[in-house]
A = this chain, B = another copy of it.
Amino acid sequence: MSKQRFDLQRSIMDKINIEEKLNLFNDYWNPKIIGELNDSYLKVVKLKGEFIWHHHDNEDEMFFVFKGTMVMRLKENNAVKEIKVNPGELIIIPKGVEHMPAADDEVHIMLIEPKTTLNTGNVINEKTVKKLKSI
């Protein structure tokens, strides 16, 4: 049985507690897989500081904030828009939209995005995480 299939079967048995998962790590900008459904992974991540401008050619992404305030910068019609996303709020970034998440203080996020999604989208640099850990 593959590791991924095992994870999926485990999720039948167990509910997933988001806070418990977030307590398992402390690094920033390094999403961890906590579940899978259909063609997507469910991930948690901690953010602090600024990410990079990027977009995803083929994937819509959902960011749900649990703790702290995420600042999502978006480019629309050549203008930069800034949206503050607080706990209990989410934002969906449709494919093709240039965006840059940022956070003055630590923010805790749940992500849902297709399994094909690379964290830095169309950009490859030192922030790119090619192989995600499952927790």
A76 interface residue per 8 A CB criterion: yes
**How many copies of the chain does the oligomer comprise?**
2
Name which of A23-31, A32-40, A47-55, A123-131 contacts chain B.
A32-40
By DSSP majority rule, is chain A's interface helix, strand, loop, or mixed?
A: strand
Spell out A's residues near B (CB within 8 Å): 8-9, 11-19, 35-40, 42, 59-62, 66, 72, 74, 76, 81, 83-85, 88-94, 97, 112-114
Give Cα distance in the complex from A13 to B97, angstroms.
Answer: 11
In the complex, are the beta carbons of A42 and B18 less than 8 A apart?
no
Distance in angstroms from A134 CB to nearest chain B CB is: 14
Instruction: Collect the chain B residues with CB atoms within 8 Å of residue A113's CB.
Output: 37-38
In the complex, are the beta carbons of A40 and B40 less than 8 A apart?
yes
In the complex, are the beta carbons of B89 and A17 less than 8 A apart?
yes
